[in-house]
């Protein structure tokens, strides 16, 4: 890392900032075309059913109805976001809200009226509403129909990923979906001085993207264009081409800016049906989900139950961790995703507490007739850290050790091998630095006195949690980038990655600008348009700044070396003696000997281009992001109200390319994590499986008045596997908030809350339980 | 939504005659914050919407002590919350109006609309067959009642009345002025809101006849102190899980002329006369406040998932009493 950086490390305003603040920026939901039809989806009223008959006679007769698609009308071709795992429409319906049919009509209201005029006969099938119940012998199957094995092609869903045993996704009857075992946990418990045993329950939550999913499709002359809110435009391009029977070159997907995505806005039926309707009607078609549709037809964070046992010695060394996790996979007819999340759940926290010798963590990923679950901000780690960090706190308390010191004693260290990434070792671990900086920011010293100082019904306490999360290293996907210098000498970055609100294009262009020694304003570009941008598997797992960043830097370096090569011919000097800066190429040591970028491009006879790629598994070193979350709370022990006074979110980000954007990501993640901790969570009707509180009000994301003072702390100690030393950090701040608050509640009141969200009724229950057991 | 006829009424006479004409097919729009949601989600499907916001002069707040305060049906919640006069003389109402939903909704929503709003019920909104749709069942009895179910029992529908201002108005002994083609009438709050009741085929949360509209609300002017306390999961844009309004004349620590009303626990603002009796004429203190809170919730019959609201309401009431006495 050079010390004299022009733009990297500076809080320059995001390139789309003004447009966003003024409402000028165009999102997929804003796209409106002349002659456009509106599409609406008929959704299943049953948790599990088979369509016997769809009578569309009345709907077809309605004025303004252009086309109707039922499961009999769509090509029987697999497509999907993860592998090719779903059909555009199916006879079997697997959750309340599943897609039955689609209508295109002159306006939104006619489409909705037509949907309601469809007469459908259903055969209601027995349904699974609870993951644990789904594993019982004799439980009905949550999914009955699978793709015909003969129709499955290489690259599609694999037969082994379809397998379930009693709704448990997995390869072995009676076994968990995934397990992480080492040592001998029983022996570990024998050696322990203290033991904690708890059951934790976490509710399913929605990402509540600001922009519900939208898609606008046009189909002309055998070519289809889709403006769509997806994070995986190339996946959608491939899926739409398959279903439409077109070569991929004839499908264009644009997903430049999205109104939030959080990992869950991926290729789905809505977009494919929109494309099919555009083809069938010959007119542009638009769908824009209602908030309720966005709530249920998304990929939510799954509901979980964890049975946890953990032991430690008096000296603070962990002896054993045993966990059995039941994860509600929802209806999604594909096991790979659940397997991936299950694997990360049972390995990442174990890596965080690498010194623990004995581990047995089993994850049962169970198919149910509920909405799909998937990778939402903080994927797998928000799922696993609540139980683990709660138990760590309790163990520390039992041996009267400071919770920070207890955790640090058992933590991962630089160079340790990783069970979450077999055969890899971790490159940098600035966890202790993040924890100490965070402790200083919240003034952890006050903690002991805080508890003594409270009076009356309102009790104050302080708690913390440590976090490990992916930061883009070793991603399950590839990133490519292209950097071009046009004949006017302008620099542009072409990247396939959608900007879903985390301002990655600004950050990426800052890095490219730095390579050339120019200002951010001097770098333009385009992104997430499959017709102009090279492939990127998308902004998932906080990977953009890291993986796409490496690709962009490589592209910039390649373009730069071509530029210098060309300039060297003109300046009659060796390329290695040249450098770039201020839109010039000049001789190192004598800047009067120079050429403008424009002149170099002119000599090159046109644009100069460089391509860069970052592939998974290319580095034996594995980078992780680390964080420490701190919460100070006031608990009203009579009402169960938890008031968060202050949050501190301290992060090992390697290096902040743009500190303002990093802080924005930390604040946003922490606020979203606050909702997960205190107010958000689906309530399902036990009888029908309906997500009762699918309404925007009842999703209960924190309002501006509910968000406390949040202090982001950025620890910048570098990361050698990234050209500028950066680690992705857009998700990790979500993860630690819930356990930090739970630990603060326990510190304040002695009551251990083991359920999310920690609503007043749940907190009161924990307080009663603490009173009963004399805690 | 279904297409409907939209009438901008220019007078109360025009409004009620339109309502009389369309009968059960008509709905009144006095702000639309509740009604439009229900129309869009097919919860109600009116043939005709009668917009009364176009009636001039119905958004007044008149205060001329010792005459009763008179508030026009179309006074917005923001107007009420920001009225310096009401903040002084009828604090509970100003406070209640100020914590309804969000600023945007308070700017659009009116006081008459707020007390006439229908229940916020997941089962009704999610299309379950129920007393308020086309069925004969209430899922709250055995279902998820944690936030919106009554703890005081109920007739047919067990959804609690969601209004904040109605609770304050009941505690302030307000009366509702109503007109219809047959003339006018005045109803005290406990008559106006007395649980879910049939009007034709409609199970309503208020007692307006199909051709009636609220024109104004009258609140007696007394030297009372009053307070409204709302407990919700969020500090903005949320319904109460429990709320309390108390008003009393307090002289030399002795309480007279007091009214205690609980919100979000019953199908109507729940007046606690037993607790009032206990407090009347006695100096307030911690023990008395606890006894009054116990008396107020004595007849509680919580549902499967809302037991905690009983203790929560007791705590809120005890605190409200002590804070008002302080």
B308 at A interface, C-beta within 8 A? yes
With cut-offs at 50, 70 and 90, classify the pLDDT of residue A159.
Answer: low
- For A193, counting Cβ atoms within 10 Å of its Cβ (0-12 exposed, 13-18 middle, 19+ buried), the class is middle
Rounded-to-10 torsion of CA B39, B45, B47, B50 = -40
**Å from B234 to nearest chain A CA?**
6
Closest CA to A612 of A476, A475, A482, A474: A482
Residue B91, token pair as written in the block: 């604090």
Residue A644, token pair as written in the block: 């968060």
pLDDT tens digits for range A32-88? 999 999 999 999 999 999 999 999 999 999 999 999 999 999 999 999 998 888 999
In chain A, residues with a C-beta closer than 8 Å to the C-beta of B239 are 697
pLDDT tens digits for range A258-275? 999 999 999 999 999 999
User: Which phi and psi (to 5°) does residue A488 adopt?
Assistant: -90, 0
Residue A705, token pair as written in the block: 């008045």
In chain A, residues with a C-beta closer than 8 Å to the C-beta of B311 are 638, 764
Q: Which CA distances in Å does B37 have to A219, B32, B125?
A: 35, 8, 10
**Å from B236 to nearest chain A CA?**
6
In chain A, residues with a C-beta closer than 8 Å to the C-beta of B128 are 685, 688, 690
Which residues 22-61 of A have a C-beta within 8 angstroms of B? 45
> How many of the other CB atoms lie within 10 Å of CB of A415?
11
Q: Do A760 and B241 touch (CB under 8 A)?
A: yes
Q: Which CA distances in Å does B288 have to A458, B249, B292, B297, B317?
A: 22, 17, 6, 14, 12
Which residues 61-90 of B have a C-beta within 8 angstroms of A? none
In chain A, residues with a C-beta closer than 8 Å to the C-beta of B146 are 683, 759, 761
Q: How many whole angstroms separate alpha carbon A543 and alpha carbon A33?
A: 34
User: What is the pLDDT at residue A146?
Assistant: 82
SS3 of A167, please?
coil
A80 at B interface, C-beta within 8 A? no
pLDDT tens digits for range A161-220? 677 778 998 877 778 999 999 999 999 999 999 999 999 999 999 999 999 999 999 999
Q: How many whole angstroms separate alpha carbon A679 and alpha carbon A613?
A: 42
- Is the pLDDT reported for residue B321 higher than 50? yes
ipTM more than 0.90?
A: yes
- Is the pLDDT reported for residue A299 higher than 80? yes
Q: How many whole angstroms separate alpha carbon B280 and alpha carbon B288?
A: 11
Closest CA to A669 of A440, A295, A378, A402: A378
| Cβ(A64)–Cβ(A110) below 8 Å | yes
Residue A451, token pair as written in the block: 């508890």
A140 at B interface, C-beta within 8 A? no
**Å from B265 to nearest chain A CA?**
15
- Is the pLDDT reported for residue A2 higher than 60? no
- Is the pLDDT reported for residue A774 higher than 90? no
B237 at A interface, C-beta within 8 A? yes
Paired strand residues for A715: A652
**Å from A352 to nearest chain B CA?**
34
pLDDT tens digits for range A613-624? 999 888 899 999
Which residues 591-650 of A have a C-beta within 8 angstroms of B? 638-641
Q: For residue A51, what is the DSSP state?
A: E
- Is the pLDDT reported for residue B155 higher than 90? no
pLDDT tens digits for range A347-385? 999 999 999 999 999 999 999 999 999 999 999 999 999
A695 at B interface, C-beta within 8 A? yes
**Chain B interface mutation, best of A678, A686, A695, highest count of B Cβ atoms under 10 Å:** A695
**Å from B312 to nearest chain A CA?**
5
With cut-offs at 50, 70 and 90, classify the pLDDT of residue A129.
Answer: very high
With cut-offs at 50, 70 and 90, classify the pLDDT of residue A148.
Answer: confident
Q: Do B236 and A697 touch (CB under 8 A)?
A: no
**Chain A interface mutation, best of B119, B232, B233, B307, highest count of A Cβ atoms under 10 Å:** B233
In chain A, residues with a C-beta closer than 8 Å to the C-beta of B126 are 685, 690, 692, 694
Q: Which CA distances in Å does B240 have to A764, B100, B101, B236, B290?
A: 18, 9, 10, 11, 22
Paired strand residues for A287: A215
User: What is the pLDDT at residue A30?
Assistant: 97
Give A622's contacts (C-beta < 8 A, 6+ positions apart).
A418, A421, A424, A425, A426, A427, A473, A474
Count chain A–chain B contacts defined by CB atoms under 8 A: 77
- Is the pLDDT reported for residue A1 higher than 60? no
User: What is the pLDDT at residue A149?
Assistant: 73
**Chain B interface mutation, best of A203, A697, A701, A756, highest count of B Cβ atoms under 10 Å:** A697
Q: Do A761 and B308 touch (CB under 8 A)?
A: yes
| Cβ(A46)–Cβ(A96) below 8 Å | yes
Q: How many whole angstroms separate alpha carbon A574 and alpha carbon B212?
A: 92
B192 at A interface, C-beta within 8 A? no
**Chain A interface mutation, best of B130, B235, B305, highest count of A Cβ atoms under 10 Å:** B235
Residue found under tokens 């799922």: A383
**Å from A688 to nearest chain B CA?**
10
Residue A114, token pair as written in the block: 């037509």
Q: For residue A10, what is the DSSP state?
A: S
Residue A268, token pair as written in the block: 């789905």
Closest CA to A269 of A220, A336, A331: A331
User: What is the pLDDT at residue A3?
Assistant: 61
The HSE-up count of residue A208 (CA atoms within 13 Å, CB side) is 23
Residue A315, token pair as written in the block: 């000296």
- Is the pLDDT reported for residue A775 higher than 80? no
Average pLDDT, chain A: 95
B56 at A interface, C-beta within 8 A? no
With cut-offs at 50, 70 and 90, classify the pLDDT of residue B138.
Answer: very high
Which sign, positive or negative, has the C-alpha torsion B81, B86, B91, B92?
negative
Q: What is the mean pLDDT of residues A548-562?
A: 98
| Cβ(B53)–Cβ(B107) below 8 Å | no
Closest CA to A610 of A478, A474, A475, A486: A486
Q: Which residue of A685, A686, A706 is in closest CB contact with B234?
A: A706
Residue A670, token pair as written in the block: 């922490």
Residue B7, token pair as written in the block: 């009438």
Q: Do A692 and B144 touch (CB under 8 A)?
A: yes
pLDDT tens digits for range A742-755? 999 999 999 999 99
In chain A, residues with a C-beta closer than 8 Å to the C-beta of B235 are 703, 705-706
User: What is the pLDDT at residue A222?
Assistant: 97
Chain A residue with CA closest to B241: the answer is A760
B123 at A interface, C-beta within 8 A? yes
With cut-offs at 50, 70 and 90, classify the pLDDT of residue A601.
Answer: very high
Give A609's contacts (C-beta < 8 A, 6+ positions apart).
A482, A483, A484, A485, A559, A562
Q: Quickly list H helices, chain B.
A: 12-22, 35-40, 77-82, 84-89, 91-98, 103-108, 111-115, 122-125, 165-171, 189-192, 273-279, 286-296, 308-325
| Cβ(A315)–Cβ(A398) below 8 Å | no
Q: Which CA distances in Å does B257 have to A188, A680, B94?
A: 69, 42, 20
In chain B, residues with a C-beta closer than 8 Å to the C-beta of A706 are 234-236
Whether the bond between B322 and the residue before it is cis, its omega within 30 degrees of 0, is no
In chain A, residues with a C-beta closer than 8 Å to the C-beta of B2 are 113
- Percent of chain A at pLDDT above 70? 98
- Percent of chain A at pLDDT above 90? 90
Residue B190, token pair as written in the block: 């406990």
Whether the bond between B259 and the residue before it is cis, its omega within 30 degrees of 0, is no
Q: Which residue of B1, B126, B235 is in closest CB contact with A692?
A: B126
A697 at B interface, C-beta within 8 A? yes
Q: Do B308 and A764 touch (CB under 8 A)?
A: yes
Closest CA to A515 of A52, A3, A8: A8
SS3 of A54, please?
strand
Q: Do A700 and B234 touch (CB under 8 A)?
A: yes
- For A18, counting Cβ atoms within 10 Å of its Cβ (0-12 exposed, 13-18 middle, 19+ buried), the class is exposed
Q: What is the mean pLDDT of residues B262-290?
A: 97
Q: What is the mean pLDDT of residues A528-547?
A: 95
Q: Do A639 and B316 touch (CB under 8 A)?
A: yes
Rounded-to-10 torsion of CA B141, B144, B145, B148 = -120
């Amino acid at each position: 890392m050079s010390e004299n950086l022009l733009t990297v490390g500076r809080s320059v305003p995001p390139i789309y900032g003004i447009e966003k603040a003024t409402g000028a920026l165009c999102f997929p939901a804003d796209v409106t075309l002349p002659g456009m039809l509106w599409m609406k989806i008929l959704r299943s009223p049953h948790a599990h059913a088979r369509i016997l008959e769809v009578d569309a006679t009345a709907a077809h007769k309605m004025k303004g109805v252009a086309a109707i698609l039922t499961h009999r009308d769509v090509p029987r071709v697999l497509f999907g976001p993860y592998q090719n795992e779903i059909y555009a429409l199916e006879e079997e319906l697997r959750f309340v809200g599943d897609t039955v049919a689609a209508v295109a009509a002159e306006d939104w209201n006619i489409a909705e009226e037509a949907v309601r005029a469809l007469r459908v006969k259903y055969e209601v099938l027995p349904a699974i509403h609870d993951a644990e119940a789904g594993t019982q012998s004799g439980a009905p199957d949550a999914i009955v129909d699978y793709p015909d094995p003969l129709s499955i092609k290489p690259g599609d869903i694999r037969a082994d990923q379809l397998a379930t045993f009693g709704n448990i996704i997995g390869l072995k009857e009676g076994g968990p979906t995934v397990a992480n075992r080492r040592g001998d946990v029983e022996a570990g418990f024998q050696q322990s001085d203290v033991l904690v045993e708890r059951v934790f329950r976490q509710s399913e939550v929605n990402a509540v993207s600001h922009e519900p999913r939208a898609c606008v499709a046009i189909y002309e002359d055998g070519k289809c264009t889709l403006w769509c809110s997806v994070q995986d435009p190339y996946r959608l391009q491939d899926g739409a081409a398959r279903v439409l029977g077109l070569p991929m070159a004839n499908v264009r997907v644009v997903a430049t800016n999205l109104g939030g995505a959080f990992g869950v806005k991926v290729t789905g039926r809505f977009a494919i049906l929109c494309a099919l309707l555009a083809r069938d009607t010959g007119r542009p078609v638009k769908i824009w989900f209602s908030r309720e549709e966005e709530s249920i037809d998304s990929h939510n964070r799954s509901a979980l139950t964890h049975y946890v046992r953990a032991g430690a010695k008096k000296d603070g060394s962990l002896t054993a961790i045993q966990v059995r996790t039941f994860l509600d996979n929802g209806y999604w007819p594909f096991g790979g995703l659940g397997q991936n999340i299950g694997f990360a759940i049972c390995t990442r926290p174990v890596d965080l507490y690498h010194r623990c010798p004995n581990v047995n963590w089993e994850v049962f990923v169970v198919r149910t007739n509920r909405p799909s679950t998937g990778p939402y901000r903080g994927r797998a780690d928000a799922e696993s850290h609540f139980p683990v960090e709660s138990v760590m706190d309790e163990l520390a308390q039992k041996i009267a050790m400071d919770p920070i010191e207890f955790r640090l004693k058992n933590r991962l260290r630089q160079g340790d091998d990783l069970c979450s990434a077999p055969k890899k070792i971790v490159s940098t671990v600035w966890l202790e630095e993040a924890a100490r900086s965070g402790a200083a920011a919240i003034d952890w010293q006050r903690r002991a006195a805080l508890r003594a100082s409270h009076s009356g019904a309102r009790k104050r306490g302080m708690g913390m949690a440590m976090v490990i999360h992916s930061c883009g290293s070793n991603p399950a996907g590839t990133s490519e980038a292209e950097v071009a210098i046009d004949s006017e000498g302008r620099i542009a970055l072409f990247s396939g990655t959608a900007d879903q609100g985390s301002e990655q294009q600004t950050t990426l262009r800052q890095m490219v600008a730095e390579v050339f020694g120019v200002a951010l304003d001097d770098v333009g570009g385009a992104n997430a348009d499959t017709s102009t941008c090279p492939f990127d598997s998308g902004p998932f797992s906080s990977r953009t700044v890291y993986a796409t960043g490496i690709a962009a830097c490589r592209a910039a370096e390649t373009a730069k070396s071509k530029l210098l090569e060309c300039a060297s011919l003109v300046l009659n000097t060796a390329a290695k003696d040249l450098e770039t800066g201020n839109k010039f190429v000049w001789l190192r040591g004598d800047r009067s000997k120079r050429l403008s970028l424009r002149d170099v491009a002119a000599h090159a006879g046109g644009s100069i281009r460089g391509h860069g790629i970052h592939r998974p598994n290319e580095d034996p070193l594995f980078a992780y992001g680390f964080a420490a979350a701190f919460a100070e709370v006031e608990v009203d022990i009579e009402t169960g109200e938890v008031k968060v006074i202050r949050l501190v979110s301290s992060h090992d980000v390697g290096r902040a390319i743009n500190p303002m954007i990093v802080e924005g990501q930390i604040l946003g993640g922490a606020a979203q994590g606050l909702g997960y901790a205190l107010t958000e969570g689906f309530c399902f009707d036990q009888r029908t499986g309906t997500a009762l509180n699918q309404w925007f009000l009842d999703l209960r994301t924190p309002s501006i008045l509910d968000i406390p003072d949040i202090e982001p702390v950025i620890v910048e100690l570098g990361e050698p596997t990234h050209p500028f030393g950066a680690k992705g950090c857009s998700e990790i701040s979500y993860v630690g908030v819930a356990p930090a608050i739970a630990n603060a509640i326990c510190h304040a009141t002695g009551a251990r809350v083991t359920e999310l969200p920690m609503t007043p009724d749940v907190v009161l229950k924990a307080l009663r339980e603490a009173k009963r057991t004399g805690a | 939504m279904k297409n409907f006829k939209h009438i901008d009424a220019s007078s109360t006479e025009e409004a009620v005659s339109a309502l009389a004409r369309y009968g059960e097919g008509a709905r009144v729009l006095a702000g639309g914050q509740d009604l439009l949601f229900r129309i869009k989600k097919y919860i109600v499907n009116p043939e005709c919407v009668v917009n009364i916001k176009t009636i001039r002069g119905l958004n007044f707040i008149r205060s001329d002590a010792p005459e009763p305060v008179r508030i026009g049906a179309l006074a917005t919640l923001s107007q009420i919350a920001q009225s310096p006069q009401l903040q002084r003389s009828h604090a509970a109402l100003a406070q209640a109006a100020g914590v309804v939903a969000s600023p945007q909704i308070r700017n659009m929503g009116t006081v008459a609309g707020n007390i006439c709003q229908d229940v916020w019920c997941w089962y009704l909104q999610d299309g379950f067959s129920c007393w308020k749709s086309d069925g004969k069942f209430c899922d709250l009895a055995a279902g998820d009642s944690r936030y919106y179910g009554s703890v005081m029992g109920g007739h047919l529908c067990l959804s609690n009345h969601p209004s904040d201002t109605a609770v304050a108005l009941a505690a302030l002994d307000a009366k509702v002025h109503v007109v219809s083609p047959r003339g006018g009438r005045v109803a005290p709050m406990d008559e106006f809101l007395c649980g879910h009741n049939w009007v034709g085929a409609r199970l309503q949360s208020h007692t307006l006849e199909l051709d009636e509209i609220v024109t104004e609300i009258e609140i007696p002017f007394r030297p009372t102190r009053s307070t409204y306390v709302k407990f919700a999961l969020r500090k903005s844009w949320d319904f109460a899980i429990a709320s309390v309004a108390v008003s009393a004349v307090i002289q030399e620590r002795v309480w007279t002329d007091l009214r205690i009303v609980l919100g979000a626990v019953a199908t109507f603002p729940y007046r606690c006369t037993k607790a009032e009796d206990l407090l009347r004429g006695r100096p307030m203190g911690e023990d008395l406040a606890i006894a009054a809170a116990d008396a107020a919730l004595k007849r509680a019959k919580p549902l499967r998932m809302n037991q905690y609201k009983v203790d929560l309401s007791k705590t809120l009431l005890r605190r409200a009493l002590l804070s008002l006495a302080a």
